[in-house]
Structure 1
Amino acid sequence: MYINCHSYYSLRYGTFSEVTLLEIAMQNGITKLALTDINSTSACLNFIKEAQEKKMHAVVGVDIRNGIDQKYIVLAKNNEGFQELNQHVTFHLHNHSEFSSIAPSLPNCYIIYPFEKAMEERLYRFSENEFVGISPKDLNRLPFSPFADLKKHLVIQKAVTFRNKSDFNAHRLLRTIDLNTLLSKLPKSEQADPNDILLPPEILRVMYQDYPELLFNTDTILKSCQVDFYFEEHRVNQNQIIYGKNKQEDAKQLEELCYAKIKERYRNPSIEVYERVEKELAAIKEMNFVSYFLINHDILEYARSKNYPYIGRGSGANSVVAYIIGITNVDPIELDLYFERFINEYRSSPPDFDIDFSWKDRDDITDYIFRRFKNTALMGTYVTFQYRAVIRELGKVFGIPKYEIDHHLKGFKVKKSASSDYLKLVEKYAHYIHGFPNYLSVHSGGIIITQKPISYYTSTFMPPKGFQTVQFNMNIAEEVGIFKFDILAQRGLSKIKDTLEIISYNQPDAKVINIDDTEVFKKDPKINKLLNTGDCMGVFYVESPAMRTLMTKLKTNNYLNLVAASSIIRPGVSNGGMKNEFILRHRIPEKRKEAHPVLLDIMEDTYGVMVYQEDVLKVAHKFAGLSLAEADILRRGMRGKVKSKGQFEQVEKKFISNCLSKGYSKELTIEVWEQIKAFAGYAFAKGHSASYAVESYQSLYLKRYFPLEFMTAVLNNGGGFYNIETYVHEIKAKGGFVEPPCINYSDHGNSIKEKTVYLGLGMLKALDFKISQAILNERGLYGKFECFDNFLDRVRIGIEQLLILIRIDAFRFTGIDKHKLLWEAYLKLDKSNSDKQHLVLFKEKKRSFKIPNFYTETIIDAYDQLELLGFTLCSTFDLLAEPLPSKFIANNLKHCINKQISICGKLVTAKGTPTKDKRLMHFGTFIDSEGTFFDTVHFPLIAEKYDIRSNGIYHLRGKVVDDLGCLSIIVDYLERLTILPDPRFTKVNINSKLI
């Protein structure tokens, strides 16, 4: 009898989930009801799935509204009707158009007009599938309305939005947040009826006892609606399953492609290679995954045709077929990667390829996919209300001053005030609303390509980039059999591509090795030395302090070491204590004897320590005697990816029983099992780590042989782990010179000429992009600017934008001090400058003015750079107000192990980490006055006493410790040193000179 129910996917309106709706219905003895969220089908698939599990009859539809104004309700009779209503909603969402008061023809749907709307629109004649919804409050008016005799077109419309008074209060707060107003100003017209709750059926029957036809009609409609989908173990693969004409031709194409390219990857393919290829092709065909490989290959063929760099990773790197046809660059035979980690008889979902593109290229790749494949959409995701954000929103709703909310969030007790009682309500309903979906967004990289039209499954919306996006997330998508393609973006690939372009113009005669020939890089001792010493600034995945420290401890000096390092940095290995054990066994061969002989034999390359996800398969297969497919069930179950709990428990029991039957002690069996549990949920696949390592080696090659070009590319791609200033420092450390933006030499991005890097005009955050382009266009067409006056004649610019260029010293080629130019700008810039035509036949000679001499200081340049660029080009050490309290340098740390030292350093980065007792400690990275990095550890007592969150130069004292060759300082004191103030705002002039 309920055909108009809302979940909290009626965004900023509903107050509980679709699952809760079903539970409420069950508690009241209701076995069939309809979910009709406002202009959304987000929850429909999960509603159907949950109803199937609860043996209930689910009906799905949409409550069509303009804002809060309800127009009509649409219920899907069948799957075709669900597609029709999705198309209807999608059209309006894409076009941002209002819904009309009259529904279009939707033959496989039921249309229910609210009584009031039917009266307003004078709807007296109805099609067979159209009805008028009569709510309890409409019953008194019904006998006197034109619908009194149209009983076969009348149904019960009892809306359900709340469970109780608290839900209604939460609803009002949500509506207020949505309208960005005060609760006291929320109009009643923007709220639902507080009586919109689910009543027991017997009460509803009593209310409509005078109208048995309405009860019968409503029940008939609900019974006749049947939208069917299959989920989890019963699901059907909904992805595009045919790439070409038919499955047979697809299989033939993949096979021919593989054998045609096999010698490109293996110069002399062994029998092992051919056997592995045959085994994989057979499994791929049997599991019906051929199209998945061909679609990925198609996408990458397009990328190669456009010269877009990419990297294929994920479990797909375990496939030799994927390696041969170019989806990945990781040889699974070389690394002993199990294909069963990728595809096995127990796995119903398609294999997993994560493909990274440059952040500059991904939109074009996405556009190609949408053009190439018919039924395509981006995966959706819901951004939920987070507790602290809700506190702030509700603070505004109740009109509480911002400072009181800030104090409340910081844990301070606010003095008794008019807001005190409201803060209690804010706290209560922040917990209530926390976790509700707030708005629909786009998944970071998921794209779906389905066999049937997207509208068969959902409505879509159109985000700013113009690619339709589904209204549900990846979890329900996978459960119904829709599996995403991961088309991801990263900046590391852009750095590689941009470096090659920069080398081509800055060193056109340089010999550059093919960037894809990573085998050469892996064997280069000069490149491997960068890993060993942690000299990896700007290099993808290995530049962070944690990774640099790890590689130093491991003495990383080859590809396999780097693959291991990429994995053991992950929480699974670290949390289980296996990270330190691996390092010790790697450094001290005698320690390897401590491994259990069977485990050492199984994982010889990692000294008997589980490092990769594949190690779970190895241990389960070789130690416990499970099949590889059963072992993968174990691995996936540890990661929460096995939906059937019974299936996982069955494999778990078999693991333990097999170990005991093999003669292993119960203690050893349980110990190994616990290691797997602590490890499997967080570990990297070895192929994933190997893929990252390949890209790291490409960057390392460029960093070693073309450091200035590489670091320029790093700057042009927004840096990396560190701030821009740190990368500028790295350029100088590699023998380069860094110049501020110049109107004659700078481009929009950063550029390099021999050893000088010119910061781009785009680095000036306050400079308008149009001005930057006008300068570059003018210079490109008519040559460099001859002088300041020449610039003013040729470029239309306002005084504020001109002052930015002068203050950053962009006119230094003129030889005129910028302080004089500031005066000239005010005196010479024609107020009508912005209205001038680009070229004039006779240029009016600008007047010259006698400008007095000025006193200036170099520190002024530093402050201007800090304001306009965000960092200074001089050393921050040169700006200190007092001499350094310590001249100790980081290069001397090795001589002071276990000794107390005092050192000064500029903060590069600091990471806070909670301890087991929930206190905070810090790991810091600093740079000394000579440009050498050093690391610090700040235990909770010191971290709480001395703050290192703000940038600057610090004086630190502490003990030098050596942890497997990695030196750091255990800090017991630090103090932030004072820098000189901006003299323009003080009365004291220091180091001033006469211009």
Structure 2
Amino acid sequence: LAALARAGDARLARAARAAGRLLGLPRQLGTHPGGIVLGDGPLGRLVPLERAPRGLLVTQFDMRGIERIGLVKIDLLGNRALALVREARRRIEESAGAAGAAVRELAGAAAAARAGSPAGAAAAARAGSPAGAAAEGRARESPAPGGGCSRTAALLASGRTLGCFQLESPAMRALLRQLRPHDLEGVIAAIALIRPGPASSGMKLAYIRRAHGEEPIAALHPRVEEVLASTLGVPLYEEDIIRMAAAAAGMSLAEADMLRRAVIEAARRARGAPSGGGAARALAALAAGFQEAARRNGIDAAAAERLWGEIVRFSAYAFCKAHAAGYGAIAYRTAWLKARHPGPFFAALLNHQRGMYPTRVYVDEARRHGLALRPPCLRAGEAGWTWEPEGGGGRGALRCGLGAVRGLRASTIAAWREARAGRPFGDLADFARRVPASAPELEALVLCGAGDEAFGVPRGELLWQLQRLTGRPGAGRRGAPRSAKEEGTGPPGRAARQASLALEAPPARARPGRHAWRSVAPAHRARLERRLLGFSLALHPVALLAPERRAGLPSIAAALARAGAEARGRCWTLVGIVSAARRIRDRAGRPLVFATLEDESGLLECVFAEPLPEGAEAVAVDAFLEVRGRIEAPRGAPSLRVERGRLLGAH
């Protein structure tokens, strides 16, 4: 716009000047997704209101206008991680039974005993029983804010935090490996450090070095040294910016907060605006005022300018510490649950969390954490994922719910629950009589394994029974079943189904050819589950690749272990499936591709840098890739710098 305004064409210059006045203005109206306005009386008397397109009552002032007239705006946001924590803890208590009740009693006893009440003494005496002693041991495991847990610390330091709130992105997992936090405060700091301000200014690396004693803690000026002592001299939070401004310029905290807000507003308007515009002048005036106040407070001009630069850079991105602490508390609890109670954690995660990875990634992560994976079950299963403490090599098993079966209607699941509550199903024919499931739904249930344990019959045998019941030849050789609508007919009524299906299973001796159905190979079962559930319970997707694709190649975990012990610079060839992918351009405009590669053993971050190597265009979630490159591990956070890639197929 500035160039057009200086152009020789008068019309272009006028248009550029007119367009410049639009910069910084709202593009359109919208409703804040979680902003709630509070006043000391009916809002209609305090601020103009209107109806949003969907009928919701909203203020005509935006959030800045609301604050300027003295009303309170708070953001109320839903968070699936809260439901995850609640469900996981409920499952832990249910599995503990009496011990779980003892844990709660012990907690109440400790609080009451500290208050010196008779009830506290009696409860403490009960807690001294063997059951109380067991409960006390469990109580020590509770994720107390600020407390440390060796298992949780090890999990955080390893970066194995898939599924943990705020801790599962590739960048955060790399930061955790570098920082190695061991308690809640460390997690809170990590959540603040990952923000663009510290990350782009070099302060993130400085904080990591200082946390490990590799660099002296130094602030920009002695005046702000004390206010930044708790964050190792690095401004992480909004409160740090406020205290820095107050200490440097001799302001009150309220005045410093107003300065911070003004800086954010002026910087926001200045971005993209022509130099010398009103927003830029406002920011320059704020800078001059701060630096003059700092000089009057005994700070030299160069230091005042450096402090102002830090305030401007961090104001736009800094977290309010209460925000970071709130997120950190939830994040630490999810990490604690994953480290100490993986079964309840993964069951709750798969029921509630919709993170940045496909569901299959969390299923495979549960497998890596030693949990057995079981298919849906018409006898013991539920609609959602459940944790079964028995079996599974000591850690129990995760049972996939019927709700994960593609093409299975909610009404069919409800009818199944109602019928099962009356009495168990005797066999597949009994199930078909009592539950109004369509033929495609019956096929989906059998193929995904929902009848294996329920009827005590191998899946291959059930496929033969299904073919006799439904008259659908070729069952088991199809992909995911089509819905009733796609089949061209609605769900059949009970009478129609009983008339059309041969519901009586034939005698065992009258089943010609059933030997051909008796077993289902694990690879075939995995492919069926992948089509019907979206993931495989039998095998990791990479295990389905042809053996020659992986012949002589190490797993990701083996390559990482050997890369740390062998000479640096060696090239590695690895095969895996892409679990996450991102394309960006760096500050110089050069393209970069980031991919998370996964196999049965673990995950590895891959970087395709300019010039983009062969195969970079094939990077996409669920693509099978063969990559060749060098493993780099700055401060213990490994990644593969890819030199060549090749697409092997798609999941």
**What TM-score, normalized to structure 2?**
0.74
- The one-letter code of the counterpart of 1:768 is R
Look up the match of 1:789.
429
Q: Does 1:887 align with 2:522?
A: no
* 1:643-658 matches, cutoff 5 A: 652-658=287-293
Look up the match of 2:84.
495
Contact 2:578/2:624, CA 8 A, preserved across alignment: yes
1:310-363 Cα offsets, whole Å, 9 max, x none, are xxxxxxxxxxxxxxxxxxxxxxxxxxxxxxxxxxxxxxxxxxxxxxxxxxxxxx
Q: Distance in 2 between matches of 1:580 and 1:743?
A: 53
Look up the match of 1:958.
629
What is the aligned counterpart of 1:807 among 440, 447, 456?
Answer: 447
Q: Secondary structure at the match of 2:33?
A: strand
Q: 1:461 to 1:953 in 2, by over 3 A?
A: closer
Q: Distance in 1 between matches of 2:258 and 2:156?
A: 36
Look up the match of 1:713.
348
The Cα of 1:900 is off from its aligned counterpart by 2.2
What is the aligned counterpart of 1:936 among 589, 601, 606?
Answer: 606
1:775-798 Cα offsets, whole Å, 9 max, x none, are 111112x12211111111211222
The Cα of 1:675 is off from its aligned counterpart by 1.8
* 1:386-535 matches, cutoff 5 A: 437=28, 442-450=31-39, 451-452=41-42, 454=44, 457-460=48-51, 463=54, 468=57, 474=63, 477-478=66-67, 482-511=71-100, 518-519=143-144, 522-535=147-160
Q: Does 1:579 align with 2:204?
A: yes
What is the aligned counterpart of 1:852 among 486, 508, 513?
Answer: 513
Contact 2:84/2:353, CA 8 A, preserved across alignment: no
Q: Distance in 2 between matches of 1:628 and 1:823?
A: 76
Contact 1:714/1:720, CA 8 A, preserved across alignment: no
Q: Secondary structure at the match of 2:331?
A: helix
Q: 1:622 to 1:967 in 2, by over 3 A?
A: same
What is the aligned counterpart of 1:970 among 599, 617, 641?
Answer: 641
The Cα of 1:559 is off from its aligned counterpart by 2.5
Contact 2:575/2:599, CA 8 A, preserved across alignment: yes
Q: Secondary structure at the match of 1:684?
A: coil
The Cα of 1:521 is off from its aligned counterpart by 6.2
1:859-883 Cα offsets, whole Å, 9 max, x none, are 3322322222112221122211243
The Cα of 1:969 is off from its aligned counterpart by 1.6
The Cα of 1:574 is off from its aligned counterpart by 1.6
The Cα of 1:495 is off from its aligned counterpart by 0.4
1:754-775 Cα offsets, whole Å, 9 max, x none, are 1121111111232111001111
What is the aligned counterpart of 1:756 among 383, 388, 397?
Answer: 397
The Cα of 1:636 is off from its aligned counterpart by 1.0
Look up the match of 2:9.
none
Q: Does 1:862 align with 2:543?
A: no
Q: Distance in 1 between matches of 2:502 and 2:203?
A: 77
- The one-letter code of the counterpart of 1:792 is A
Contact 2:242/2:256, CA 8 A, preserved across alignment: yes
- The one-letter code of the counterpart of 1:766 is G
Q: Distance in 2 between matches of 1:969 and 1:795?
A: 52
Q: Distance in 2 between matches of 1:600 and 1:922?
A: 40
The Cα of 1:590 is off from its aligned counterpart by 3.5
Look up the match of 1:872.
536
Q: Distance in 1 between matches of 2:441 and 2:503?
A: 23
Q: Distance in 1 between matches of 2:44 and 2:139?
A: 42
Q: Does 1:538 align with 2:203?
A: no
- The one-letter code of the counterpart of 1:808 is C
- The one-letter code of the counterpart of 2:452 is R
Q: Distance in 2 between matches of 1:494 and 1:908?
A: 25
Look up the match of 2:324.
689
Q: 1:844 to 1:850 in 2, by over 3 A?
A: closer
Q: Distance in 2 between matches of 1:919 and 1:505?
A: 54
Contact 1:914/1:921, CA 8 A, preserved across alignment: yes
- The one-letter code of the counterpart of 2:587 is K
Q: Distance in 2 between matches of 1:606 and 1:557?
A: 16
The Cα of 1:812 is off from its aligned counterpart by 1.4
Q: 1:944 to 1:548 in 2, by over 3 A?
A: same
Q: 1:735 to 1:838 in 2, by over 3 A?
A: farther
The Cα of 1:497 is off from its aligned counterpart by 0.5
Contact 1:881/1:979, CA 8 A, preserved across alignment: no
Look up the match of 1:563.
188
Most deviating of 650-659 and 867-876: 650-659
The Cα of 1:446 is off from its aligned counterpart by 2.0
Look up the match of 1:925.
596
What is the aligned counterpart of 1:674 among 284, 304, 309?
Answer: 309
* 1:826-841 matches, cutoff 5 A: 826-827=470-471, 834-836=492-494
Contact 1:532/1:551, CA 8 A, preserved across alignment: yes
Contact 2:88/2:345, CA 8 A, preserved across alignment: yes
* 1:109-120 matches, cutoff 5 A: none
Q: Distance in 1 between matches of 2:644 and 2:438?
A: 50
Unmatched segments (≥5 aa) in structure 1: 1-430, 981-995
Contact 1:595/1:607, CA 8 A, preserved across alignment: no
Q: 1:510 to 1:708 in 2, by over 3 A?
A: farther
- The one-letter code of the counterpart of 1:753 is E
* 1:131-280 matches, cutoff 5 A: none
Q: Secondary structure at the match of 2:644?
A: strand
Q: Distance in 2 between matches of 1:671 and 1:523?
A: 37
The Cα of 1:515 is off from its aligned counterpart by 11
Q: Secondary structure at the match of 1:634?
A: helix
Q: 1:586 to 1:799 in 2, by over 3 A?
A: same
Q: 1:699 to 1:960 in 2, by over 3 A?
A: same
Contact 1:521/1:697, CA 8 A, preserved across alignment: no
Unmatched segments (≥5 aa) in structure 2: 1-21, 104-137, 270-277, 390-395, 474-488
* 1:206-355 matches, cutoff 5 A: none
- The one-letter code of the counterpart of 1:893 is A
- Percent identity between the two aligned chains: 24
- The one-letter code of the counterpart of 2:444 is I
Contact 2:575/2:627, CA 8 A, preserved across alignment: yes
Number of residue-to-residue matches in the alignment: 539
Q: 1:775 to 1:828 in 2, by over 3 A?
A: farther
1:649-674 Cα offsets, whole Å, 9 max, x none, are 76643421133334433222212211
Q: Distance in 1 between matches of 2:543 and 2:216?
A: 49
What is the aligned counterpart of 2:380 among 735, 738, 745?
Answer: 745
* 1:88-103 matches, cutoff 5 A: none
Q: Does 1:820 align with 2:464?
A: yes
Contact 1:767/1:801, CA 8 A, preserved across alignment: yes
Q: Secondary structure at the match of 1:911?
A: strand
Contact 1:742/1:810, CA 8 A, preserved across alignment: yes
Contact 2:384/2:403, CA 8 A, preserved across alignment: yes
Q: Distance in 1 between matches of 2:608 and 2:260?
A: 37
Query: Root-mean-square deviation (CA), in Å?
Result: 3.6
Q: Distance in 2 between matches of 1:435 and 1:664?
A: 39
Q: 1:613 to 1:482 in 2, by over 3 A?
A: closer
Look up the match of 2:248.
623
Contact 1:626/1:655, CA 8 A, preserved across alignment: no
Q: Distance in 1 between matches of 2:294 and 2:59?
A: 47
Q: Distance in 2 between matches of 1:471 and 1:765?
A: 44
Contact 1:881/1:978, CA 8 A, preserved across alignment: no
The Cα of 1:608 is off from its aligned counterpart by 2.0
The Cα of 1:680 is off from its aligned counterpart by 0.9
